[in-house]
Each structure stands twice: as structure tokens, then as C-alpha cells.
A = this chain, B = another copy of it.
Amino acid sequence: MSTSPVSIAIIGAGGVGKCFLSQLQALAARRPNPKLSLVYISTSKKALFKSDYSAIPIDSAVQELSAASTAPLALPKVIEYLAAAPSKVVLVDNTSSQDVADSYPAFLRSGISIVTPNKKAFSGSYQLWQDIFNAASTSGAKVYHESSVGAGLPVISTLKDLVDTGDEVTKIEGVFSGTMSFLFNSFAPLEGSGGKWSAEVKKAKELGYTEPDPRDDLNGLDVARKLTILARLAGLPVESPTSFPVQSLIPQALESVASGDEFLQRLPEFDSEMESVKTTAEKEGKVVRFVGSIDVATKSVKVGLEKFDRSHPIAALKGSDNIISFYTKRYGSNPLIVQGAGAGGDVTAMGVTSDLLKVLSQI
């Protein structure tokens, strides 16, 4: 690890962003080398930075930012500003912005490394994916995105290690959404009978486990984005998260209702459909779960409801945990499994912070 100072630029100071700042502060206090200097931080409305790249105090950055009146720089200007910094630079993108993601190739071409939980960059068009990794490969800048799948769980790093050491990944299967995990572990539990589908969705929303409009979870797109990332890492040139079958759990009649609240009000009309899915599985001695799977040999990627034996690790999942099973040639019939919380500010930020440490050890 070089001991020259490294400049850190952060875009995004929401839930994950705040947790990351707190981890960054602890890290800077614990590890004096290399000296980390925060030179830019912005939200969609405001930014903090100095023309002489002097360091912004990490502990008061969020407060200073909320008191600031400077608008954020346009992304090409951010790149220009950071490329001219007197030290190496790591961009931490804590947004879920497609615009920021679309600028990754330009950041990387300018030698700026990137760590991020932003799924959009890696699950958008395959062209963007190629542009990102080609730019990194040409400039030598690094790009890490552990938290784009399963938050801080070692999912991306494990898959990369399998591939890079020459193992043959045959299948990846799992529960990739904390929301879907919670919903199905409550709706179709191993013990007891579970509540009505609409009631479980309502409860999940009240507990903060869903997006403000629960349809943004139930449409399956979040899971499809994660599958796209993993499939590409496993070698499949998946065109986009809508280029393979994704089962939406939004009843067609409710797709276009005006609000999430109206959706929740009318959802009970469709409880019998989900109830029948549940009882069909029960009659086979199984439980229903919302999973994603990638079959590498047949190049098939899909997202939707599947039935699992009650002894299957996917059936036994608890709370809002994720589980990801890697079937490979080396691991044979028993997969390598990673399991645990796959959402939440602290564990998502942890993936970003550990990615930052990996970049710092290499630049």
C-alpha cells in the first residue's frame, strides 16, 4: 500500500452515504496510512469542495453540506476537478443514479477509481458494462461494487474468485431481495400458516422493508438487476435486466393505479391468487419463494416464484436475509453458500468501505 495521500470524492449523502461517512471517519482515525482526504462531497442539490483541494472534515461533512449553498458541479466538471487533484482519487458513488453510472467510463479514463453500491452501472446496457471495464483496464483505475448485490455479503468477490481461479460456475440461485425474503418468510413460513398476502405486504411497508411504493419491489426489477450483474460476472453477455423472464407480483389490474397507497388498498382483491400459489406448493410438501437463478450452460436467467423442499436452505431462510448459492465444478453437488442481511445502511456501507480498502491497497 502506497503511503501517499489519497483524495476521496463522495456523491450521495443519504442513508448509505451517511453510514459510509461514519465508517470512513473511523477508518481514517484507525489507519493513518494512506492519509485519506475528503475533497468533494455532494447531494443532488448541494456540494462542498475547495479549489485548492483542501480537506473537508469528515465528521462534520454532512452538517456543512446541509448548511452549504453551492450547487453540485455538473458531472464532466466533477471529473475535470478530480482529474486535476494533486493525488490519486477514489470516487465513492453512494447514489442509485443512472446519470452518475453513465459517467463511470469517463471517471475511469481519467484515472479515478470507483467504489459503489450503485446497481445501475453494472445492470444497465451491456455496452455500458463493457465501457466501464475497458476504461478501467486501459487506465489502470480500479472499480469495485461488492454492495451492488447482497450489500456487504461477500457475493461479488466470491464469484470473481471462483471465475478468476478457473472454476466453472454452473448455476447461481438465491433470494436476492430483503423485501421479498421478508414477505415470503412471513407469508409462507416453515412453521405455522402465515398471513394473507396483502396483509404481509402492508406490514412490510410499515416496517420500512419496502420502497415507498411497494410495487417497486414487487415488479422484480431489483432482483433482475442483481441477476444481470452476477450473470455477466459468470461470463454471460446479458443485454439488460429486461432481456430475460422476470415475474412481476403486481396484479395486472393494479399496475397503473395512481399511488402506492391505492395499490395497497386494492391488493386484498387478489389475495386468493397468491393463496392458491401457496397451497399448491404446500400440497407438494413445499414452500414458495421468490428467487433468481442463472443456469450458465443453457445461458438461462430468470426471476420469479419457485417451490422448494422444506429442507432446502432457501426454504429455511429467516427475516429479511438473502441467500446466494454458487454451484460450480469444484464444489460439486453441495454449493458454496453465502447468507445474511442483504440490505440496510450499515451493511451496504460496509461493502463500500471494504472495496475502498481493496482499492487503497492497489493504487
Contact = CB atoms under 8 A, between A and B. Distances in A.
A337 B27 CA distance: 25
Contacts of A347: 330-331
Nearest to A20: B165
A336 B191 CA distance: 23
Given A27-B165, A158-B154, A339 B341 contact: no
A164 B340 contact: no
Contacts of A190: 311
A283 B339 CA distance: 30
Contacts of A157: 154, 157
A155 B339 CA distance: 13
A153 B331 CA distance: 10
A350 interface: yes
Interface string A112-154: 0000000000000000000000000000100000000000111
Contacts of A154: 154, 157-158, 161, 338
A340 B346 contact: no
A180 to B, nearest CB: 16
A362 interface: yes
A68 interface: no
Given A23-B166, A166-B23, A335-B340, A313 B311 contact: no
A334 interface: yes
Nearest to A164: B357
Q: Which of A157, A161, A316, A353 has the most C-beta atoms of chain B within 10 angstroms of its own C-beta?
A: A161
A338 B337 contact: yes
Contacts of A346: 330
Contacts of A357: 161, 164-165
Contacts of A219: none
Interface in A300-324: 311, 313, 316, 318-319, 321
A350 B165 contact: yes
How many copies, total?
A: 2
Contacts of A361: 361-362
A166 B27 contact: yes
A55 interface: no
A340 B26 CA distance: 33
A167 interface: yes
B339 A336 contact: yes
A191 B311 CA distance: 10
Interface in A342-363: 344, 346-347, 350, 353-354, 357, 361-362
A319 B340 CA distance: 22
Given A321-B334, A361-B362, A26 B166 contact: yes
Given A157-B157, A318-B334, A338-B338, 12 more contacts: A1-B140, A23-B166, A152-B336, A161-B350, A321-B334, A330-B350, A331-B347, A337-B337, A337-B338, A338-B339, A339-B339, A362-B362
27 contacts: A23-B165, A153-B336, A154-B154, A154-B157, A154-B161, A161-B350, A161-B354, A165-B354, A166-B353, A167-B350, A190-B311, A191-B311, A311-B316, A313-B339, A330-B341, A330-B347, A331-B347, A332-B341, A334-B341, A336-B338, A336-B339, A336-B340, A336-B341, A337-B337, A337-B338, A361-B361, A361-B362
